[in-house]
Amino acid sequence: MAEPQAPAVSEPTSEYPAVEEPTTPPPSRVGGFARVLIFFGVVFALIVAMCLGLRALNVLPSFDNPFSDKTTDRSQPVLLQSMRDLSRYVAADGTFQVIVDLQQNKENVPDFLLNERTLFVGSGTVEEYVDFSKLSTDALSVDEGNKTITIKLPAPEQGQAALDMNKSYVVAEERGLLNRLGDAFKSDPNQQQRVYQLAQQRITEAATSSGLDQRARQNTEKMLQSLFARLGYTTVTVTFTNP
């Protein structure tokens, strides 16, 4: 007869269900790079502040701006073209100002298509002079006994107006549509030259009727009278020939 078997007893086990541990995310590369940038930024700021402090105490020399403007002069040497001897006595000059309004357009064509208008303020000087190289052989008459002298001079002459470009300027320019398109292919330097020439012409004409000639006669007479009076002459008579 079979013996009854004892019920099987399960042995205790040490195995438990595995518990997942929380994973730590890897360190962020972006955060580390930002910290490096901040570190170098702080170091750079400290270096700049230290340099500025030393410069304020005149410990460090001054440094030029590395991005400052630079002007290079590549002009050629000045060439002497001519030389002449002058025997002119500039007795008077006058400074004049003129406003030139020069316009060039086409008839029956709207101004917005073809039009060149320049408003220019010109300032120039005109000289009135006496040319002593034109004295005749009998221009000087001297009486040593009476200490008198008579001088016959040529009439004063007027020079051309010389524009002062530091005081002359363009106020406004108007150009038509086709003129602007033409500027993209070629420029017209003669337009500016015509404005200058017209300003010189107007100033020269204005000086003719300004009384500059009479002022030159008076100044020349006073200059010669003062000169010969120092040489002992009591009477100095200055006359001018007709122009």
pLDDT in tens, 167-212: 999 888 776 665 555 555 455 666 788 889 999 999 999 999 999 9
Asked if residue 137 is part of any domain, the answer here is yes
- Range scoring the smallest mean pLDDT among 23-27, 36-40, 119-123, 137-141: 23-27
* Shared domain check, 127 and 187: yes
Judgement on whether residues 151 and 186 belong to the same structural domain of the protein: yes
The reply to whether 143 and 58 lie within a common domain is no
Tens-digit pLDDT profile for residues 32-91: 677 777 877 888 888 877 777 766 666 656 555 566 677 888 888 988 888 877 788 999
pLDDT of 213 higher than 60: yes
Residue 22 lies in a domain: no
Residue 49 domain boundaries: 31-62
Q: Do residue 163 and residue 48 come from a single domain?
A: no
Are 129 and 185 within one domain?
A: yes
To the nearest 10°, report the CA torsion of 224, 230, 235, 240: -10
Identify whether residues 58 and 93 lie together within a single domain.
Answer: no
Check residue 84 and give its pLDDT: 79
Residues 139 and 228: beta-carbon distance below 8 Å? no
> Are 108 and 190 within one domain?
yes
Per-residue burial over 2-15, b = 16 or more CB atoms within 10 Å of its CB, e = otherwise:
eeeeeeeeeeeeee
Give the CA distances from residue 209 to residues 89, 197, 215, 224, in Å, rounded to whole numbers and listed in that order.
21, 19, 12, 25
**Tally of structural domains, the chain:** 2
**Encoding tokens for residue 240?**
């001018």
Whether residue 186 sits in one domain with residue 99: yes
pLDDT on residue 202: 94
In a domain, 71, yes or no: no
Tell me the mean pLDDT in the region 108-123: 74
Residue 85: per-residue pLDDT = 77
CA distances from 41 to 30, 32, 55, 195 (A): 16, 14, 21, 59
- The pTM of this model reads 0.60
Q: What is the pLDDT of residue 14?
A: 47
Tokens encoding 221? 């007479």
Same domain assignment for residues 161 and 232? yes
* Domain final residue, candidates 21, 45, 62: 62
